Structures are given as structure tokens and as C-alpha cells.
A and B are shown apart, each in its own frame.
Chain A
């Protein structure tokens, strides 16, 4: 481990998928750290590689995936080099995962008490009775009312929000160091979403776990994450603290994402999805993959891949706009206005470091 504060260090990860059409270059040189106790959000449009990245941490890639290079260091070992048997001891114990759709992620034929108890029996060697009694504690913790009685219920007897609480109970029952939540609230309606997010934050404090939180909804990120990594076409294009990404974004793609984020003020219709579609990963473009969709693309963007430019100690962005020789550009007016409004709404003193004028 390069930094003792890190739980996971991903370096130069490269993942391809074999398909009939050719090699899909899904993850193209991704590096990031996960710190102890933090919540790292990974945001990006559909297909940007969020799920593939995190599934590789669990050793749960599809059979047609090939890890072309890189390393995933966890406790000083490279997860990529571990056997399936070794991974089984990490999954559910040290690294756990919550999936998107709570309606389908529970086994419909097994009582939920048993489903929560399973990881304990597997990883802690508990007998069924002890495991069930710990499952009961977990049910209480995730806020299921009348937990004793509900231990023996089947999933169909619960609502979507309740099921996601149970899925969270399953994931956290072994007190994992890392929790991966792949769009855990996308399938839920808004009020339930907020409850589940609150629950996750609350449990994170109690259990002291690091969370990787995947979403394409930046609105959720603000209240949830400490740091944000923005992914596009199999790469991380910008990362920084939540404040840095929200108030001082540098990459045109991040601008686009923020621009398309619905708030009370934009709900009226000034919402702008980023025009165009992501590139074909069978044959990814040279240079900055976002250039084709960017209003700020320069000649060099189609010729040479931008390196990460340092914005602050914690904030980096891979865009040629940050090169000292690049012309100064003004981000979209929407972005600047949104940043100000967001700042007024969310924080008493917005930590805007940027001096860009509207």
C-alpha cells in the first residue's frame, strides 16, 4: 500500500470483454484510492464502466472479461492475482456489495432471517442459531419493525424499500471494511431513496466502513459522498472532494453532468442532457474521449490523450483545458449560476475557489 490511509488502491486497471464483435475496451487505465471510512462516489453516464470497475474489486466479472493489466491492492495483496477460493473469503466478509434492484436481489424461496445469517455461517463459522440471532440484531439496526416476527418472512412480504434495508443488512452483517453500493436507490421512489441514504450514512458511522457509491445521479452524491470520481468511456476524467467537483469542476464532461442535474430551480425545463452519445468502446477514440461531444474541444483533444492536471492536492482533472498554454474558456452560464445557487442552498459559506465570471 502506498498510503496507510488507503483501504484499496487501484492502479492502471484495464479490462476488456471478449465479444463476437471484438474486444470491448470497457476499463481503460483506471486508478483510484479508497480511504478508510470515506464514501467515494463514482459517477458517470450509463456504460462508462462504473459497475465493471467495482465488480472487479469483488472478483465478480463476467466470464468473458479479461483483465489486461493493473493491480487492485487490498491489505497489501493484489486481488487480481487471487484465486476464486481466496476471493470467496473476501466477498461478503471484507468487501460487500449492495445491488440496484431490491425487488430481485433476494432469494424468493428463503426466509430473510436465513438470508442475513448466511454470510455469518460462511465467514464466522457460526451455528445457525447464533447466526440467526445476530441477523435479528442486524434487522433491528436497519430499522425493520417487529424484527423477531419478520425473521421468518419471505421477501415477497416486504416492500421495495424494506427489501433494500434487508439487502443492506446482508451486506453489513459481517462488518465489512468496504461496501460497494451500485446504484442502491435508483429503483426506489424519492422519499424511500432519502431514507435508504440516511440509513447507509448512519450505518457507516456505526460500522466504520468505507463506501464506494455508484450513481449516475449527481443529486444523490452531494449529501452522501466525501470524494467523487467522474468516469467517462472507461476512464476517470476528474476526481476531487465533493465540494471541488460540485463548485469547481474542470472537465467539460463534469460540466455537462452538473448541467443535466435536476434541481428545484431547473425542474421547469432548462434541464440539458449532454448531447450526443458515448463512444464505441470496441474502438475508442484517440485523445480525449469526450471531445466529440464537447463544445470546448481543441485540436489536441483529438490527437493526444490528456494527462491528469493537478487542480489542488485532492483535485485532478484530465482535460487539456488545464494546460498552461490552453486558451482560457468560460464554463456554461448554467454551470456558473447553478454553482452559485447550489452554494446558497447547501452551505452557509460556499468554498468556491474559482474566480470565473458569468
Chain B
């Protein structure tokens, strides 16, 4: 187990290194410079600012400097936010993003499981069809469309929730709903397929033969067996939430990482783009690693080949 963990952690860092490298060069391919919006500056002023940030150096040197910085634990300084450290920016904006992501994950997964289980148990009835349509909608409708619809109808027209901003729990409701739709749909679809399989398996037959009630069978046998593979969905769901948050945070003016990320792309704030990308990648890698560990613990069939490997 320890050897396995060490190996995984090594790969985690390798992945992050590759991500940093690829992002760095991709970013250099983006059109424009950090100064494209500053029309007032003269050419020599621009040159001196570029020199100040090291942007006049050859790209390979910039790359080495950047990677060197990372090894020293620094993600650089942001261009747009008056030279604040990128790591500080990420830290200060993490709160709202984590809160939205967490709320959306919980709502999405809980209701997704319910929807998927109902679909599987009532397979081929109207309830199943309704659940299927809902989950197809949840996957097909992009989160920005849903966000705008929610904002317009529930926020503007009905006035039930604040339209935008970040001043308390009420402000989190609409963005949470917009974000939750996709994990909810994914979860429902996953659980339905999975549970239909589980319900037709021999051990469910045996559970019936024991005389257990329908509820007992689902609760004690089917649910647990369907939920275990769902652990593998955590990674993809988290990724979906991260991408979703960029759009949703912008639409609802939530001061989170996603909003900052989109802004920094628009103004070529290289260090921030790099920093957030690496941060997201690290988060995702950690989640995936955690997923594997949790999976190994809860599923007695697939326990990691503990002693050897």
C-alpha cells in the first residue's frame, strides 16, 4: 500500500509538471500581450514593463524561470491585480468557489442518486422515463444557459432570489442550482445503469429468496453495490464543477476562482492563468488519488494488492 501510494504521488507531481509545461507554451501561443489594452502607453514604456516582468527574455528562459519559481514554491505575481502573489489570489478567492462547488456536489449527488434509483427500480415506467428525460436535459443544457434562465426567471422576474453578488447564503442558491444540474444528471444516469445491472444480479435474487421486502433489498443490497462504483465518478464530477464554475461565477458575479480565471484569460494575465490551471490540476489529481484509495477501502472485491505490488 505504501509503495503504491508513493508511486501515485510521484505520478501526481509528474502530471502537474507536464500540465505546467503544456499550459506555459499554449499560453504563449495565445494572441495578444498583457499590455494590449493599455493604449496610452508609449512603445518604450511598454518595453520597460515587459522587461520588468521578464517577458522580453527568450521563451525557453522564461519557462526555466517559471518552473524554477514553482520549485521555490512561488506561482509568480499577478499582472492585473496590482502585483499580488497568485497563490494569495487563489487562496483569497477559494472560499466562494469551494462553497458553491460543495453545495452543488451534495445536491447533485444526493438528488442524482434518488433520481437514478427511482429510474432503476421503476424501470420502464413513466417515473423512469421522466427521470431519464430530466437527466438528458441536465447533461444537454449548458450550464450558462441554465444559469441565465435561473437568473432571469427566479431572480429578475419572480424576485425570489438575489440576481447576482455575494452577500450571504441567499446569494448562493441560484449559482448552486445552476452548477448542480450537470452532476445531478451525470449521477442519475450512472446510478440508473448501474442499479439496473445490480438488480438483475444473482445476489439480489438470493435476497428476494430470503424474503426481504423490496425496500430491504434496495437499501441493504442494491444501493451499496451501486454506490461503490460511483466513487469513480467523483473525479469527472469535480472536473465538471470546475469548468461550470467559470461560467456560473461570472454570470452571478461570484468572487471565486472561476471568475478570476476567466478575467485573467481575457487580459493575458499569464501568471494567474498558469497558477489557476496548476491549482485545478492539482486538486483534480488529488481527488483521483483519493478516489482510488477510498475505492480500495470500501470495495472488498478490489482492495489494492496490499502487501506486494
Closest 4 CB pairs of A and B: A92-B211, A91-B211, A92-B210, A154-B300
Given B201, B207, B208, B210, which contacts A104 in the complex, CB threshold below 8 Å? B201
What's the tally of chain A residues with a CB closer than 8 Å to chain B?
30
Task: Name the interface residues of A97-145: CB closer than 8 Å to any CB of B.
Answer: 97, 99, 101, 104-110, 118-119, 122-123
Interface contact A108-B210, CB-CB below 8 Å: no
Contact B300–A105 (Cβ < 8 Å):
no
**Chain A positions within 8 Å of B225 at CB level:** 107-109
A93 contacts partner chain B, Cβ-Cβ < 8 Å: yes
- Name the one of B206, B211, B228 contacting A89, with C-beta atoms under 8 angstroms: B211
Check A118 against B210 for contact (C-beta < 8 Å).
yes
Which of B206, B208, B212 lies at the interface centre, i.e. has the most chain A CB atoms within 10 A of its CB? B206
Name the one of B202, B206, B213, B228 contacting A109, with C-beta atoms under 8 angstroms: B228
Docked pose: A97 CA to B216 CA in angstroms: 18
- Asked if B93 is at the interface (CB within 8 A of a chain A CB), the reply is no
Q: How far is it, in angstroms, between the C-alpha of A91 and the C-alpha of B207 when the chains are bound?
A: 10
A92 to chain B, nearest CB (A): 4
Cross-interface CB contact of B203 among A89, A90, A104, A154, cutoff 8 Å:
A104
Report the separation of the CA atoms of residues A44 and B224 in the bound assembly, to the nearest whole angstrom.
38
Interface pair B206/A106, CB less than 8 Å apart: yes
Among B209, B221, B299, contact of A110 (Cβ-Cβ < 8 Å): B221
CA of A96 to CA of B211, assembled, Å: 9
Give the shortest distance, in Å, between A179 (CB) and chain B (any CB).
11
B40 within 8 A of A: no
Give the shortest distance, in Å, between B222 (CB) and chain A (any CB).
Answer: 9
For residues 57 through 116 of chain A, which have their beta carbon under 8 Å from a beta carbon of chain B?
58, 60, 87-93, 96-97, 99, 101, 104-110
A-B contact count (CB 8 A): 76
B72 at the interface (CB under 8 A from A): no
Q: List 25 A-B contacts (CB under 8 A).
A: A60-B205, A60-B208, A88-B211, A90-B211, A92-B209, A92-B212, A93-B211, A96-B210, A97-B206, A97-B209, A105-B202, A105-B205, A106-B203, A107-B203, A107-B207, A107-B225, A108-B300, A109-B228, A109-B300, A118-B220, A119-B211, A122-B211, A122-B212, A123-B211, A170-B206
* Bound form: Cα–Cα A116–B33 in Å: 70
Q: Tell me, yes or no, whether A233 is within 8 Å of chain B by CB.
A: no
Give the chain A neighbours of B300 by CB distance below 8 A: 108-109, 154, 156-157
Chain B's interface size range is 20 to 34
Question: How near does chain B come to A104, taking the closest CB pair, in angstroms?
Answer: 4
Interface residue ranges of A147-167 to B (CB < 8 Å): 154, 156-157, 167
Contacts of A118 in B (CB 8 A): 207, 210, 212, 220
Residues on A with beta carbons closer than 8 Å to the beta carbon of B203: 104-108
Q: Are B212 and A88 in contact (CB under 8 A)?
A: yes
Instruction: Please report the C-alpha to C-alpha distance between residue A318 and residue B41 in the assembled complex, in whole angstroms.
Output: 106
Q: Is the CB of A96 within 8 A of B209?
A: yes
Given A97-B206, A106-B203, output 11 extra A-B contacts at Cβ < 8 Å.
A58-B209, A60-B205, A89-B211, A92-B210, A93-B211, A101-B202, A107-B206, A108-B300, A154-B301, A156-B300, A156-B301
CA distance A99 to B201 in the complex (A): 12
CA distance A242 to B228 in the complex (A): 48
CA–CA, A107 to B202, complex, Å? Answer: 9
Using Cβ atoms and an 8 Å threshold, which residues of chain A touch B301? 108-109, 154, 156
Q: How far is the CA of A156 from the CA of B213 in the complex (A)?
A: 26
**CB contact under 8 A between A109 and B224, given known A91-B210, A91-B211:** yes
CA distance A107 to B207 in the complex (A): 9
A-chain residues with CB within 8 Å of residue B213 when the two chains form the complex: 88
Instruction: Report whether B211 and A170 are in contact in the complex, using a CB–CB cutoff of 8 Å.
Output: no
**Which of the residues A99, A110, A119 comes within 8 Å of B205, measured between beta carbons?**
A99
Within 8 A of B (CB), among A7-45: none
